[in-house]
Amino acid sequence: MKNTPASIMTAITSDVCDPFLLLDMEFASGTIRLTNLPYNVVVGPDTYISDGGLVEFSPPQLTSNVNRETYRIKITDYQNTYKDEFEANAVGTPVTVRLGVNDDTANLDIVYKGRIDATRIETNPSEGSKDAIIDCSSPFGALDRTTDRRTDKDTQRQIDATDTCFDRILFEVSNIELRWGKV
C-alpha cells in the first residue's frame, strides 16, 4: 500500500493545489536533477534545475494486474547533453520522480522509481525541436528478460574484485563423475 504524505492528501482535496515534479536520473557521469517548476528548487543538498528542458512526463497508470508499466520522459536537448549520455549506454540508469504540492519540498511522494529501458533523440526540423525521449519501466519490466552471464573468474572479478568463487572452477569440474540411467 502506498503511503502518500498527509500534506499532499490535504492539498489535493483543498481548493488550491499546485503540484510539481522533481526528477533524478543517476547517469554514470553524475546525477541530473530537473523540475517542472519555473524556478530552481533546493531539497537538502540537491538543486533541481528549472531550465533543464523537462517538457513532458507521462503520468503513472494504476492497474490491478502486474505488468510492464512504461513511463516516458521528454526533455529538450539542443546542447546534446542527453545524446552524449545515451551514447555512453544510459540503459539501466536509475530514475526517480517525486511529487510535491504548493512549494512544500519537505513532504514529497515518490510517484515513480525504476530504470531507463530505452532512449532516443527525436528531431523535428519543421518545428525546430530536438528532444531526448527516455522510456523507463518499473522493476516488473525486467521479469521476462534474460541475461547472459559467464561463470569464470574474469567475469566475476568485474562484478567484485575480491570474489574468488570461480577461481578453481575449471580444476574442480574434471573431478566430477555423473552416472546416468541404470548402473
Domain count, the chain: 1
CATH number at residue 136: 2.30.300
Residue 170 lies in a domain: no
Residue 164 lies in a domain: no
Residue 132 lies in a domain: yes
pLDDT band, very low/low/confident/very high, at 145 (cuts 50, 70, 90)? low
pTM of the model: 0.66
For residues 177 and 121, the model is more confident at 121
DSSP for 45-92, written as a single string:
TEEEBSSS-EEEEPPP---SS----EEEEEEE-TT-HHHHHHHTT-TT
pLDDT at residue 37 above 90? no
Average pLDDT of the chain, as a whole number: 78
Residue 60 lies in a domain: yes
Domain holding 60, by residue range, is: 6-145
